[in-house]
Structure formats: structure tokens, C-alpha cells
């Protein structure tokens, strides 16, 4: 049985969301369709307006005439590039993920995340970190952190952003190992058509040699950050995230050989 470590802590509390981690192994699964089917883009349609009749004043030399109105053209709004809910669409969207990782753009991920509203109970459980310093009845927005082996609603927007900031700041581009540079980079894409270790959806697997957890001393280690996306309301939205930072877990995410982790895995273009 494997445990996963939470990415950030606020006020001594630990963020989490449930999942059971089992030792992974097996063949790479087939590429699977993702959660939400998309509606095909609208077809360009031409609509001719009804003919309007214009009456001219009769005269001995002029007969009443009809002036046809020009046709009206209705064009469906195009779907933005990459905003389709299959694996091909996620590959196109991943170009934006790669750029955001290179630019350390925390707001790209925070702005694209789907936070859910939760009302803080009188005695919130420790795993509900977003309610740690809030009075009962406070409505908070939370994102699922699945890197910690307990049930809970997850972390607040501020806690999520802090986790990413620590990750990007802790990357060591001057180091390298068998997986490549220590710089934080989009390493692979994966997908799950049924709930598995990290839930259902498409996964962006980010890796680097990082020194980012405040409770761990140096040296920096190879770590993995996995971001799970679902195609909801016509666009890709980040629905959960988690991390793996122990050496025995890294091959599961960087080798493509963990059948219980995902259905499909592929190395991101530009990575050897």
C-alpha cells in the first residue's frame, strides 16, 4: 500500500482528498474517450429573410414593384482551438499548460480550476483545510487535493496557489537525472475513462527535481505533480491535483507502465 503526500499546508493543517493507492504495474492501456462528450461546432447556415413588399404610388407609366431584402447569414460561434473533449482536444489544450509551466503562471491553473462550494461545519475535520480558520457556516471554495490518503473536500484557492508557487520556486534546472533536466516541465499526458488512482479525466503530468516541501530537508528530489482536467461547460477545467515525491512512486507516472493509474499514457512532445 502506498501513501501520498499533500502538497501544501496552511496553519499546520494538511490538505487532502481520498484515493486508495495500490502498487502499480501492467501494460499501458488504450487511449480512452474522456468524461464529457462535446457538441459538434455549429454549421454555417444561410437564412433568407422573407421578401418585403414595397408599394409605389401608381402612375400611368409605373407599375407596383417588389424590392427583395438581402439574405441574412447566421454563423455559429466557433469553438476555441483545443476546446474539444477528446484526447486530441486535450493535446491541443496541453500547449497552454506547457507554456504556463514554463512561465510559472500560477494564475493560469488557478483561473482554470473548478472550485466547489462547501459550508464549514461546526467542527471541520482536519482534512478540510479550507475551513481550518473559518467560523461555522462559512461558505468556502475548495479544490480536491488527492495526494493525501484521507477523505475531505480539499484546499482553498489561496492554498492551491501557494502550493504551485512553492513547486515552481523549488525547481532545480541546474540538476538532472535519468528523466532529464531538473527544470519543472510538462512530461507526459494520460487519461482515465473510469475512476482510478487520480480520478476520471485527462491528466497533465508535470515533473522536475524540486525542493519544495517545507517539512523536508534538502537535497532536492525528482517529483511529479499531476493535474486532472475534465471537459465541462465547453472547456477544460482543472478538477483535482496531487503529487508524488518518493523515488519508488516516480516510475508509475514517468514510465507509462502503471495500468492501475491510467488507461492511456503518452510522452509529451519535446521530451525524449
Q: What is the pLDDT of residue 167?
A: 93
206 within domain boundaries: yes
Of 263, 265, 228, 258, nearest in space to 243 by CA? 228
Show the domain range for 108. 9-22+91-267
Q: What is the bridge-based pairing of β-strands 139-145 and 235-244?
A: parallel
Q: What is the pLDDT of residue 213?
A: 66
Q: What is the pLDDT of residue 219?
A: 73
70 within domain boundaries: no
Which segments in the chain show pLDDT lower than 70? 1-82, 147-153, 194-198, 213-218, 270-272
Q: What's the total number of domains in the chain?
A: 1
Report d(CA 201, CA 190) in Å as an integer.
9
55 within domain boundaries: no
1 within domain boundaries: no
Question: What's the pTM?
Answer: 0.68
77 within domain boundaries: no
DSSP class of residue 220 equals P
Report d(CA 167, CA 183) in Å as an integer.
11
Q: What is the pLDDT of residue 216?
A: 60
Q: How far is CA 219 from CA 40, 127, 168, in A?
A: 50, 28, 16
Report d(CA 148, CA 37) in Å as an integer.
30
247 within domain boundaries: yes
Q: What is the pLDDT of residue 129?
A: 84
3 within domain boundaries: no
Residues 145, 7 contacting (CB under 8 angstroms): yes
178 within domain boundaries: yes
Query: Could you give phi then psi for residue 206, rounded to 5 degrees?
Result: -105, 135
Of 160, 71, 68, 60, nearest in space to 109 by CA? 160
Q: What is the pLDDT of residue 143?
A: 92
Amino acid at each position: 500500500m502506498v501513501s501520498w503526500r499533500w502538497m501544501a499546508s496552511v496553519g499546520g493543517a494538511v490538505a487532502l482528498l481520498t484515493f486508495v493507492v495500490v502498487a502499480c504495474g501492467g501494460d499501458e492501456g488504450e487511449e480512452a474517450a474522456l468524461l464529457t462528450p462535446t457538441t459538434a461546432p455549429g454549421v454555417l447556415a444561410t437564412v433568407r429573410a422573407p421578401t418585403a413588399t414595397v408599394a409605389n404610388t401608381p402612375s400611368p407609366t409605373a407599375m407596383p414593384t417588389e424590392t427583395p431584402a438581402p439574405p441574412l447569414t447566421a454563423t455559429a460561434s466557433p469553438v476555441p482551438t483545443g476546446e474539444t473533449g477528446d484526447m486530441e482536444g486535450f493535446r491541443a489544450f496541453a500547449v497552454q499548460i506547457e507554456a504556463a509551466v514554463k512561465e510559472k503562471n500560477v494564475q493560469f491553473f488557478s483561473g482554470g480550476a473548478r472550485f466547489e462550494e462547501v459550508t464549514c461545519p461546526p467542527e471541520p475535520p482536519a482534512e478540510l483545510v479550507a475551513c481550518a480558520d473559518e467560523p461555522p457556516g462559512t461558505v468556502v471554495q475548495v479544490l480536491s487535493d488527492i495526494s493525501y490518503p484521507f477523505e475531505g473536500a480539499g484546499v482553498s484557492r489561496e492554498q492551491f496557489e501557494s502550493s504551485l508557487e512553492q513547486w515552481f520556486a523549488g525547481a532545480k534546472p541546474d540538476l538532472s537525472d535519468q528523466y532529464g533536466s531538473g527544470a519543472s516541465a510538462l512530461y507526459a499526458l494520460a487519461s482515465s475513462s473510469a475512476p482510478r488512482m487520480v480520478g476520471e479525466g485527462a491528466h497533465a503530468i508535470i515533473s522536475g527535481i524540486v525542493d519544495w516541501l517545507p517539512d523536508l530537508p534538502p537535497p532536492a528530489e525528482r517529483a511529479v505533480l499531476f493535474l486532472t482536467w475534465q471537459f465541462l461547460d465547453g472547456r477544460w477545467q482543472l478538477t483535482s491535483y496531487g503529487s508524488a515525491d518518493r523515488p519508488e512512486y516516480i516510475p508509475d507516472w514517468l514510465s507509462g507502465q502503471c495500468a492501475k493509474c491510467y488507461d492511456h499514457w503518452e510522452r509529451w512532445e519535446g521530451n525524449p
